Amino acid sequence: MTGLRRSAPRTDARPGGPWHAPRAWAIAALGVAAVAAAPWGIGEGAQRFLSEAMLMLAMAQMWNLLAGYAGLVSMGQQVFVGLGAYCLFFASISLKLAPFWVLPLAPLLCAAVAAIVALFMFRLREAYFAIGTWVFSEVVSLLISKTERLGGERGIGLPTARLVDPRWLEPLTFWISAAIAIASVFGTYALLRSRVGLGLMTVRDNDIAAASIGVDVWRNRFIAFVIAAAGCGLAGAVSFTATLYVAPGFAFDPNWVVAMMIIVIIGGIGTLEGPILGVIIYFTLREVLTVVFGLSAGWYLIGLGLVAIAAILFEPDGLWPLVRGRLGGDWLSVRREPPVPLQLPAPAPSAEAATSSARGLGATPGDG
């Protein structure tokens, strides 16, 4: 009788495995302390720049969740950036509350809108879905621009910002931006390590095959779409709170989604680390082209577009896989590995079987 095979707990000896947990917690604690103390060590200009970069990271991570893991290429993700901003401004002014108190309403509204829109958008596939999301964004932008209570095309300011101590406005924006960026990375990591994440990656690779093995394609994509909308809405609300002004031309600007796409493509689509690397490259190039070379906003976008095209041609998976190969380790990998089979020992022979075996071994030809 052959031994039974069963799954054994896998000892994770990869970099970043459980045996590195104390070091990871120590690094996390140092990171939290650095973020908490940063406003007292850097100026307001640096705080605004870092807040912008961290919010863009959160938006790019949400777009990456859609395109890189759910297989949904959205060209209208800027609609949730704008809706989140307008929700915060309208609620803060109407309720006469400081903007940070009504901040949770922005992702809730965007998630609700996404849940309704998904009922119609999910009837479209591939390029039609991308075009459909862009058209929806343009329609919402036009509706907002025609609504005088929201400022129309002129936009509206945020007078309730006076309810926040001016000394704390920039630090609070910085801390909230950092929290959103961290939550976007590790929240997405936790989602992708769950059963929903496994279903998402199955759907991304082949939705028809995924449906044939019992994966609920619609449900998994719906969850990703709603989460991505809420994340972009939250980041957009904080972004425009920092400027104290919102208008349709800025809030629903297609350059929002263009920036998300460039960051993800350069860094590496379908990886959690890719948008982080992409944000670093994006803002470095932007500052070099605009500050060092003095190019206008249009020219720096052209430069970034050329970098994205080069990445597609020479590194289709983005730059992060190349960097990861040099650095080693899996980092924030969400790959699943099959469990290591454990070969159980065969049961010990009985005493009667052992005696019979001994007699057989001791017998000689002719014994009878």
SS (H, E, C) 186-213: HHHHHHHCCHHHHHHHHHHHCHHHHHHC
Q: What is the pLDDT of residue 11?
A: 36
Domain boundaries, the chain: 43-252
Looking at residue 19, the DSSP 8-state letter turns out to be G
Mean pLDDT taken over the chain? 83
Helix (H) or strand (E) holding 169: helix 166-192
**Does pLDDT of 292 surpass 60?**
yes
What is the share, in percent, of the chain residues with pLDDT greater than 90?
Answer: 45
Residues contacting residue 56 through CB under 8 Å, at least 6 positions apart: 235, 259, 260, 263, 279, 282, 283
Altogether, the residues listed in the chain come to a count of: 368
What's the pLDDT tens digit per position in 90-115?
Answer: 999 999 999 999 999 999 999 999 99
Q: Are 230 and 112 within 8 A, CB to CB? A: no
Give pLDDT tens digits for 149-167: 998 899 999 998 888 888 8
pLDDT at 99: 92
Q: Which two tokens stand for residue 128?
A: 């039609």
pTM of the model: 0.83
* 5-42 pLDDT, tens digit each: 333 333 333 444 443 556 666 777 787 888 878 888 88
Q: Of residues 196 and 81, which shows the higher confidence score?
A: 81
- Give the H or E element holding residue 8: strand 5-8
